[in-house]
Structure 1
Amino acid sequence: MASLKTRILQLISTMPEGTVLNPKALLHLGNRAAVDQSLSRLARSGNLMRVCQGVYVPPVKTRFGTRPPEIGKTIETLSKMWSETIVPSGGSMANALGLTTQIPIRQVYLTSGPSRNLKFGEMSVELVHAPKWQLVSPNRLSGDVVRALAWMGPQEVEHCLSKARSRLTQEDIDELAEARAIVPEWIAKPVSEMISVG
């Protein structure tokens, strides 16, 4: 019978990029202490990357060496595993929407769960607990606009909203209209004005 380490390596070789391993998902291979020890050893040898306590990802092998998996795919998997909403920060959304030319230095995501730091090799990703209104409409343009506006601040809301208006579909506008119930007044009022103008 193959060793626990060998069986975990075989499992890793079949996993798509962004897949997350945690010890509880491997208890069919051995007891918890043995699984923890094997994962720790595989991380030390470079066969796995330890993202945070109890969470490992297989690195992606390329012809130039190994690299961390795509962060977005891993975050998506973690969001499902932890049953949390995790979305890109307002700063990165403001940049993506062309509302600012500032490029965020740090990788930050907002989460409904606790704040924590993730390590992807040398790269650090910060998960920051955010209020419910900043997590509205995850993975939707309307939600990205809300997060960008929150990051830009009250003084920039009207200017940024008019700049983002051309990208919004009627469905996005309807979602923004629904979000008015939970966003702060300094976002809800300009959204209402934009909708009334049409």
Structure 2
Amino acid sequence: MNTLPETILIQAQSLPEGGVLSPKEFLHLGSRSAVDQAFSRLAKVGKLLRVARGAYVAPVSSRFGTRPPAPEKVVQSLAAQSGEIVTPHGASAANALGLTQQVPIREVYLTSGRTRKLKLGRSEVLVKHAPRWMLALGSRPAGAAVRALAWIGPAHAGESTAAVRRSLAPEEWRALTANRATLPSWLARAIGTEAARG
């Protein structure tokens, strides 16, 4: 029979990259302090990475050594576990849509849950609470367009909305215009003005 740390490691290694483990999943195998101690020791020797309180991931091994899992995979795994909506930040969306050349220095995601920081090796990822309207269209292109336009702001919404319309597929543009009622008035106005151009 495997020891508690071995059982935890086997489970961690069976998960896809970025799969999150919680000590709570192992409470049937020992006391809370024994489980916490096993996780703590595995993190200390580098077999697991503690990304947030009560959340651990296995490092990824490659021929170049080990590295933390990709941030987006960890974020998606946490979202699936907690039932939150998590999407890339508006700056990333604006860059992907060609509205800005700026590349965000720090990885930031928006969530329907609480704001928290994740530690992945030497880098830190911010998962920031966002208002419902920013997440209403989820991770589809129309949702990315909402976040990109919100990041750009009211001053440049007009020309940016025209650029967004050119880059979105017709069904995504329709989804964006159909969602206007949930958006702040300046954004609803910019989208409505662009839609009225026919």
Q: TM-score range by the shorter chain?
A: over 0.9
1:91-126: CA deviation from partner (whole Å, max 9, x where unpaired):
111111110011111111111111111100101001
Q: For structure 1, list consecutive stretches of 5 or more residues without a partner in the other structure.
A: none
Task: Give the match for residue 173 of structure 1.
Answer: 173
Task: Give the match for residue 98 of structure 2.
Answer: 98
Aligned-pair CA distance for 1:29? 2.9
What does 1:61-76 align with in structure 2 at a 5 Å threshold? Answer: 61-76=61-76
What does 1:101-112 align with in structure 2 at a 5 Å threshold? Answer: 101-112=101-112
**Number of aligned residue pairs:** 198
Task: Give the match for residue 13 of structure 1.
Answer: 13
Aligned-pair CA distance for 1:128? 1.2
Task: Give the match for residue 84 of structure 1.
Answer: 84
SS in structure 1 opposite 2:102?
Answer: coil
| Counterparts of 1:12 and 1:29, CA distance in 2 | 15
Task: Give the match for residue 144 of structure 2.
Answer: 144
Aligned-pair CA distance for 1:64? 0.9
Normalising to structure 2: TM-score of the pair?
A: 0.95
Deviates more, 1:116-125 or 1:7-16: 7-16
What does 1:179-198 align with in structure 2 at a 5 Å threshold? Answer: 179-198=179-198
Name segments (4+ residues, structure 1) moved above 4 Å. Answer: none
| Counterparts of 2:154 and 2:13, CA distance in 1 | 49
| Counterparts of 1:13 and 1:109, CA distance in 2 | 26
| Counterparts of 1:96 and 1:30, CA distance in 2 | 47
Aligned-pair CA distance for 1:50? 0.4
Identical columns (%): 47
Aligned-pair CA distance for 1:178? 2.5
| Counterparts of 2:64 and 2:134, CA distance in 1 | 39
Counterpart of 1:132, as a letter, is: R
SS in structure 1 opposite 2:183?
Answer: coil
Q: For structure 2, list consecutive stretches of 5 or more residues without a partner in the other structure.
A: none
SS in structure 1 opposite 2:98?
Answer: coil
